Structure 1
Amino acid sequence: MSSIDVKIPVPKVFLAPIPAFSDIGKTANDIINKDFYHNAAAALEVKLKAPNGVNFTTKGTSPQGDNPISASVEGKKALDKGTLNLDLFAAYIPFDLMYSLPFVIIFNGTPGRLGHSDAFKRVSLKAFLRSTGISITQSWNTADVLMTKVELANTLANGLKAELTNNFSPSKGSKGQKLSLYFQQPQFHTRAFFDLNAQQALTANVDGVIGYEGFLVGGEAGYDVQKAAITRYSASVGYSTAQYNAAILATNNLSIFSALYYQKVNSAVEAGVKASYDVKSSSTVGIEVASKYKIDPLSFMKAKINDRGIASLAYNTKVNTGFTFGIGASFDTQKLNEAGHKIGASFTFEG
């Protein structure tokens, strides 16, 4: 008598990579906060890629009210192993910083005395790269701050990413430096940020998340080196899958508690809810509920409302391969006959 083996397939549960501490509950936060365009009267973003591989991003925002327009221009280049001729856009480059990087820099010409005329000179350089995973980002904004960031991903160790950022104002001098370290493995994700401000005060912030089969536990702490004191601490727990996730966060020295829940209802509908309570200054629980509906592969709509009766609507569509348009509005449902409602639009061009 022969036997028959019957194998019943067991569905695999998809578990996302361990998120960073600030990303616990990110899907719910994105549903509630992202792609609502009423916060700015108009926002413009232009993304271009040069033939040499440099990605340029220009952003401009016209805020609500009488606040001034803000704008920035950014260039980012991912460097490959070998020899690269890189023509950086007009920005001040901290030369001492570049000499400390894991590649050799040869400059065209000798930089002169730093001033407004020198700060915006175009600098051509040749880089002999010793490793891959390196990128350079430079930006300049309307606050007259020039930012240079060097990223090294999986260069020093597998799973380790390091970022060194220098902020400089041609009119006011150094605005500070920041070293950021990210280390991610299958079961944990940890980060460390060391910030040296313009007054040479050093602060450190460290956070970490460990996970097992979708369960997440994380913590964060901030430390002031000059004062030798802990300045902040937070904690969180969560559970995450591809279809839904939930998280509870205790931030601001465990004085603000938030609960977030996200669910992908089906292929077209997503929903998120957030409840928050401030132990020190609030006697009520703040609640926000939001939903996203995918109209077609190129368009979606979003809606949300909070416990104060503020309702927001948004629509986003990709007109063609190079243009995305978004429009949104916010209404106080308890004061519909009064001024104070907001409307805004977003224009994104890619090429």
Structure 2
Amino acid sequence: MSVPIAVPTPLAFNVPPAFSDIGKTTNDLLNKDFPLGAAKLEVNTFTNNGVKFTVLGAKDNKTGAIASELKAKHIDKARGVTFTESWTSSNILGTQLELDNTLARGLKVDVAASLLPAKGTKNLKAGVEYKQDHLFTRAFVDLFRGPALHADAVVANDGFLAGGEVAYDISEARLTRSNLAFGYLAREYTVALHASNALNTFAASYYHRVNTDVEAGAKATWTRSTDNDVHVEVGTKYFLDNEAFVKAKIDNRGLLGLGYTHLLRKGVKLSLGGLFDTTRFHENTHKLGLALTLEA
């Protein structure tokens, strides 16, 4: 059986991943396709002139609260322009403009704004992203929170990655975030090391594409403030066929996660998930959920 799998290979022109994507394959394996505690619906439709409409909805199984969002995204690939508008059930209005490779090769400019009319709460972020061989760097300013400057950069060579991330509160003149990450990216596996929370939290992870049917990975996290406890989580993904796969994960606290995803037909995907506390199996502590995604 031959199943197409997203393989963590180096990007074109030797451009490394963004700082937030170091270790992404492991995080996706352990967290993605596990809909928990809610029933979710996502509907995507596309027009001939490059407009994508998205409707998102989620009902919390515990409270019964329903949250939803409506998005309209216009993509002009020829000019490298993407314009997105959104409206949530919390009455938050959002607008985003992206210019990718428009002003210069490898340069992306991003401006995002949101407004809550009922309270007059507003937010505005302006950012730039630049990538070339062996380098991926980003920076953005959050104008109404601080204002705050956020920046990160990743350098790479022969599969080895090194990156850093900082956040600086301009009004208070102080550093509010400092993170480091290192990794190695190969065709069949990736490894990553993270030092975050001002070097108070450390994490190590790996992802392995065992064969065309099986993926495996694990992550260990340790925080200085805890009693030397290390949180370890291991997971796997198995393709049943071209349209379905199952996932399972378990950690050293006894939490067992199970997931099943099936492409029912072209444009219709169903995901079922559950998180079970094996140390309190007969108590009402478990979480179940489902997600239905429709595309046309």
> TM-score, normalising length from structure 2?
0.93
**Among residues 28, 31, 36, which one is paired with 1:30 in the alignment?**
28
Alignment of 1:36-75 (within 5 A): 36-38=34-36, 40-66=37-63, 68-75=65-72
Residue in 1 that maps onto 2:5: none
What amino acid maps onto 1:31 in structure 2?
Answer: L
- State how far apart, in whole Å, the 1-side matches of 2:272 and 2:204 are: 29
What amino acid maps onto 1:75 in structure 2?
Answer: A
Residue in 2 that maps onto 1:321: 266
What amino acid maps onto 1:22 in structure 2?
Answer: S
In structure 2, list runs of 5 or more residues that go unmatched: 1-8
TM-superposition CA deviations, 1:180-238 (whole Å, max 9, x none): 211111201101021122xx631011100000000001111110010111111011111
C-alpha deviation, 1:174, in angstroms: 4.5
Q: CA RMSD in A?
A: 1.4
Maintained 8 Å contact 1:15/1:213 = no
What amino acid maps onto 2:216 in structure 1?
Answer: A
> TM-score, normalising length from structure 1?
0.79
Alignment of 1:71-86 (within 5 A): 71-79=68-76
Shift in CA distance, 154/60, structure 1 to aligned 2, threshold 3 Å: same
- State how far apart, in whole Å, the 2-side matches of 1:67 and 1:193 are: 36
**Among residues 76, 80, 85, which one is paired with 1:138 in the alignment?**
85
Residue in 2 that maps onto 1:171: 118
Residue in 1 that maps onto 2:188: 243
Larger Rg: 1
Maintained 8 Å contact 1:322/1:349 = yes
- State how far apart, in whole Å, the 1-side matches of 2:295 and 2:71 are: 14
Alignment of 1:132-281 (within 5 A): 132-197=79-144, 201-281=146-226
Residue in 2 that maps onto 1:345: 290
C-alpha deviation, 1:67, in angstroms: 5.9
- State how far apart, in whole Å, the 2-side matches of 1:291 and 1:80 are: 36
C-alpha deviation, 1:172, in angstroms: 2.4
Maintained 8 Å contact 1:251/1:257 = yes
- State how far apart, in whole Å, the 2-side matches of 1:275 and 1:160 are: 35
My pick for the range that moved more, 58-67 or 247-256, is 58-67
What amino acid maps onto 2:284 in structure 1?
Answer: A
My pick for the range that moved more, 309-318 or 61-70, is 61-70
Maintained 8 Å contact 1:239/1:247 = yes
- State how far apart, in whole Å, the 1-side matches of 2:250 and 2:108 are: 38
Q: What secondary structure sits across from 1:31 in the alignment? A: helix
C-alpha deviation, 1:340, in angstroms: 1.1
In structure 1, list runs of 5 or more residues that go unmatched: 1-13, 82-131
Residue in 1 that maps onto 2:246: 301
C-alpha deviation, 1:53, in angstroms: 2.5
- State how far apart, in whole Å, the 2-side matches of 1:191 and 1:28 are: 23
- State how far apart, in whole Å, the 1-side matches of 2:122 and 2:226 are: 33
Q: Percent identity over the alignment?
A: 40
